[in-house]
Chains A and B, each alone.
Chain A
Amino acid sequence: MKTLTPLDNLPYFTTKIQDFINWSRKHSLWPLPFGTACCGIEYMAVVGAHYDVSRFGAEVVRFSPRQADLLIVAGTITEKMAPVLRRVYEQMPDPKWVISMGVCASSGGFYRAYHTVQGIESVIPVDVYVPGCPPTPESVIGAIIKLQEKITKGDTPQQRLLQRRKLAAKTSAKEFETDDIYSEDRSEASNVAELKRV
């Protein structure tokens, strides 16, 4: 962390305001565990005493999307659940991040089936994917550290969006005004429906 090193023997340090904000954000992630299946149980183990995610500042688990900035999708997302997930994501305040925990959330996993969403990126944007079925708690913690690195760099779509909005406010340029950088059409993103009834 180059930006927050106190100078030798001086009672103060200098940094950029954006770096300071990113630094504080990464150490106070408030996760919303969207646990639907087996990964949800394994996420409980991550929060539990042995692995103790509070060492990484991400233990304040909130079940209301209004109070959370990190969505952890832990478990299979089915077609029935997909609109619910989208809505929960939309309810979260900006900036927000998403960790896709386990292969089911990331790609549908070995449920190559009619009622399973083949990867949540067709529903919401994802910052970090964690492989595993279920991933070990270590790799979930690894994903949180990875996300923290990205947040430090300001390198997540959400942070870029905020920057662009700021820029748009300054320059009042029309082309920056679009809010919805994720407006991928779901039917185009995963056109599996064509396989309907062979």
Chain B
Amino acid sequence: MEYQYQLEHQIRDSIPNSPLETTEVSSTNPNEIVMIVKPQAIRELARLLKAQKGYRWLMDICGVHYPEREKSLEVVYHFFNRDQNRRIRVKVPHKEGEKIPSLVSVYKAANWFEREAFDMFGIIFEGHPNLTRILCHHEFVGHPLRKDYHPRANQTLSKPIEYEFEKSSDSDDEDILLNQKNYLNLGPSHPATHGTFRWFVELEGETIVRSRAEIGYLHRCFEKMAETHKYNQVIPYTDRLNYLSAPMNNDGYCRTVEKLLGVEIPARGRYIRVILNELSRIIDHLVCIGTTSVDMGALSTFWYCFSEREETYTLFEKLCGNRMLTSVTRVGGIAGDIDEDWMASCRARVKSMRNTIDEIDALLSNNKIWLSRMKDTGVISREDAIDFGFTGPCLRATGEDMDLRKQEPYYFYDTFDFEVPTMTGGDNYSRYMIRILEMRQSCRIIEQALSKLPSGPTQIDDPKIVLPPKKEIYSNIEALMNHFMLIIDGVKPPAGDVYSYTEAANGELGFYLVSDGSGKPYRLKVRPPCFPIYSAFEDMIQGGMVADAVATLGQLNVIAGELDR
């Protein structure tokens, strides 16, 4: 409360024309302050928060559309202060066509987030260097996340966008051989771009002078789909965000809805979620290392990683029936339960994982080729990383030991004995080492969670949130009715909004959920950890070789499903 008044005073004193409309503490998070701010003051406010109040991270920018309101559009900013563990959510409601000052000059992270808000809602940011479409294709008309855009209104593209850099003035046309710059397009279908990324680079010899990354080739409209489905029906869509570690996305989403509902799931459910999360973290890191090593030419590491992953899939299949995209959590708990047999195979799995991690470590960490490819390539400094909104292993590779599991322990992470490894290089090798070290810590967490696992239910006991057991449905009229109502109406959280975050394999996976009290989300924005990380890619590869850029892309572990949604 005191902090809130102090902040309010400081803002009123330093920014003219009373920018604040309201300030309140968030109902779902005591460390979060929600402000409504006038559009023209947002840039000064961001400067103040960053320079004087220690809000070094701009976590997310998103739009919300309220067609029935006079100020029909709203921009929502999420700021994060790591040292005091505080968050500020700033809302800027405005009329259509009104211009919002861009934050690109304050936070580098704002660049792509603002482009996305422009693409999805048509919000115009004044002073943005390149306010163009980012996810939808360039021939797209309209703004798809507005409420009056029909979810199925497809627009076909006639031909891919073509790039051209404006010629730099110092190019000497006479001596073509000496000063000729080469232009190279990589992707979107290129093995080194892992499927769906595309970059266009200007080369001088083999050195990258300028580059431009194009994303959106896997924009499959997650957020629009979430608005047209009930809360529980959204869970399978979340699987396909970061498809390398699906249970973590399920968990992050369900936790968001639970937070808005104001419920906490039973201890056993939380422990199982921890086990699943850590297993997925390991297999996610394994794919990252495996695919990077394929790009570097070390094919055998790929086989090591994938056979380990395959066994973990079997474990998931045993639990829920699907290998990869598990959809295993529910709002209010876990679907199903684990038994002694599963726990025994999980223990064996962890044991064999430790061996594989050691083997990979022995194969790569001191390998001469690996070292020369990874050391001092794709370097980013700590300040830049924070400015770009890095979280997760890529941030910890620059020396900042921020991990949400320690920062703001959820579930039982404060009771487990584990460390947060950091490296200081900020290069590809540091990122690789962080992943190796982190996998070992995850093994420790799984072992502890398995030994501490309490007995009891895995789901909360509330017929308005969780389906009754199958046996009850067929024998009890009340259970049948509850089942019917929950399927037809869905879970109904109270009206309001919530921002919830978990430490996913790539960093902070945030969900910003706006509910209007009905059975479907009014707006669900995902803050994918890859998105701000990949926005730094253009800067990181500048001055390096094309081959370094390939290694950098591999070690940033950008997942298209999460990046483009």
Contact = CB atoms under 8 A, between A and B. Distances in A.
B325 A133 contact: yes
A186 B159 CA distance: 13
Contacts of B191: 63
Interface string B123-144: 0000000000001110010101
Given A79-B154, A193-B155, A37 B218 contact: yes
B244 interface: yes
Interface in A21-39: 34-38
Given A41-B244, A84-B160, A114-B151, A48 B303 contact: yes
Interface residues of B, number: 53
A111 B156 contact: no
A48 B305 CA distance: 10
Contacts of A84: 160, 188-189, 217
A82 B153 contact: no
Contact of B153 (A45, A88, A114): A114
B409 interface: no
A148 B136 CA distance: 38
A36 B560 contact: yes
Nearest to B146: A197
Interface in B288-308: 291, 302-303, 306-307
B151 A113 contact: yes
Interface string B31-60: 000000000000000000000000000000
Contacts of B216: 78, 80
Given A63-B191, A113-B221, A114-B152, A42 B324 contact: yes
B219 interface: yes
A193 B153 CA distance: 6
A159 interface: no
Interface residues of A, number: 47
A106 interface: no
A118 B154 contact: yes
Contacts of B459: none
Given A192-B154, A195-B150, A38 B136 contact: no
A83 B138 CA distance: 13
Contact of B156 (A44, A134, A186): A186
Contact of B190 (A37, A63, A113, A193): A63
B157 A114 contact: no
Contact of B323 (A48, A136, A187): A136
Interface string A108-135: 0011111111100000000000000110
B154 A48 contact: no
Contacts of A80: 136-137, 157, 160, 216-217, 219
A84 B325 CA distance: 27
B265 to A, nearest CB: 26
B413 interface: no
A163 B149 CA distance: 48
Contacts of B190: 63
Interface in B172-205: 188-191, 194-196
A36 B187 CA distance: 11
Dominant secondary structure of chain B at its interface with chain A:
loop
Contacts, number: 156
A193 B561 contact: no
Contact of A112 (B151, B160, B291): B151
A2 interface: no
Contact of B152 (A36, A49, A195): A195
Contact of A197 (B148, B158, B218): B148
A69 to B, nearest CB: 16
B154 A35 contact: no
Contact of B195 (A40, A88, A195): A40
A198 interface: yes
B95 interface: no
Given A37-B240, A114-B155, A78 B219 contact: yes
B221 A115 contact: yes
A37 B560 contact: yes
A4 interface: no
A76 interface: yes
A81 interface: yes
A37 B307 contact: no
Contacts of A192: 152-154
B224 interface: yes
Contacts of B196: 36-37, 81
A115 B154 contact: yes
Contact of B225 (A88, A113, A195): A113
Nearest to A34: B189
Nearest to B187: A84
A196 interface: yes
Contacts of A49: 303, 306-307, 310
27 contacts: A36-B218, A37-B195, A37-B220, A38-B325, A38-B561, A40-B194, A48-B302, A49-B303, A50-B307, A76-B220, A78-B220, A79-B137, A79-B154, A80-B137, A80-B219, A84-B189, A110-B225, A114-B153, A114-B154, A115-B137, A115-B221, A116-B221, A186-B156, A192-B154, A195-B150, A196-B150, A197-B150
Given A36-B560, A78-B220, A83-B157, 20 more contacts: A37-B561, A38-B325, A38-B561, A44-B291, A48-B306, A50-B310, A79-B156, A81-B217, A84-B188, A110-B237, A111-B221, A113-B151, A113-B220, A114-B149, A114-B224, A116-B221, A133-B325, A192-B153, A193-B155, A196-B150
Interface of A: 34-38, 40-42, 44-45, 48-50, 63, 75-76, 78-85, 88, 104, 110-118, 133-134, 136, 186-187, 190, 192-193, 195-198
